């Protein structure tokens, strides 16, 4: 009996060059654990200061070993909104996410109103009659 269909796709640890400062290792670790990249960078810098170079060797090894994450694909021109509930999590604060979503819906509402104005106008009726000729 296999439960493979019930499992979520396994998350991979990849370097994130899109959000990289040096090689994308810290940004990749942040994506993997769903925390802010700045927090990982602070931990790494602190570990370098107190770790006597061992962390530098680990960073370079991760740079060589980890594959690069593929470039993010466009989602019909819309960004996905990830909302964070804790300060250290990756994503937008709820207020900013709400503002972004509200702005997107207002834009959609304006486009819908423009379509309704066109369909109820005489120009639409004339265009439809010309196409039927």
Per-residue pLDDT of the chain (133 residues; tens, 9 = 90+): 445 555 667 778 888 888 788 888 888 888 888 888 888 899 888 888 887 778 888 888 888 888 887 876 655 656 666 666 666 666 777 787 788 888 889 999 999 999 999 989 888 888 888 888 8
Task: Give, rounded to a whole angstrom, the gap between the first and last alpha carbons of the chain.
Answer: 63
Q: Cα–Cα distance between 38 and 88 in angstroms, integer?
A: 9
Q: Write down the pLDDT at residue 108.
A: 93
Tokens of 61: 């090894």
| 108 touches 76 (CB < 8 A) | no
Q: Identify which of 11, 15, 65, 61 has the alpha carbon closest to the alpha carbon of residue 40.
A: 15
Residues 6+ apart with CB under 8 A from 24: 15, 16, 17, 18, 68, 69
For the packed helices 37-51 and 54-65, what is the interaxial angle rounded to 10 degrees?
130
Question: What does the pLDDT read at residue 79?
Answer: 62
Cβ–Cβ < 8 Å for 80, 106: no
Question: 0.85 exceeded by the pTM?
Answer: no
* Residue 115 confidence (pLDDT): 92
């Amino acid at each position: 009996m296999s439960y493979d269909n019930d499992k979520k796709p396994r998350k991979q640890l990849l370097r994130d060059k899109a959000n990289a400062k040096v090689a994308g290792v810290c940004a990749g670790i942040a994506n993997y654990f769903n925390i802010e990249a700045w927090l990982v960078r602070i931990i790494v810098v602190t570990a370098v200061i107190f770790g006597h170079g061992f962390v530098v060797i680990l960073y370079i090894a991760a740079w060589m070993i980890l594959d690069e994450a593929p470039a993010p694909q466009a989602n019909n021109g819309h960004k996905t909104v990830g909302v964070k509930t804790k300060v250290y999590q990756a994503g937008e604060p709820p207020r900013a996410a709400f503002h972004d979503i509200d702005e997107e819906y207002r834009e959609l509402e304006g486009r819908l109103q423009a379509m309704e104005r066109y369909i109820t106008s005489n120009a639409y009726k004339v265009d439809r009659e010309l196409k039927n000729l």
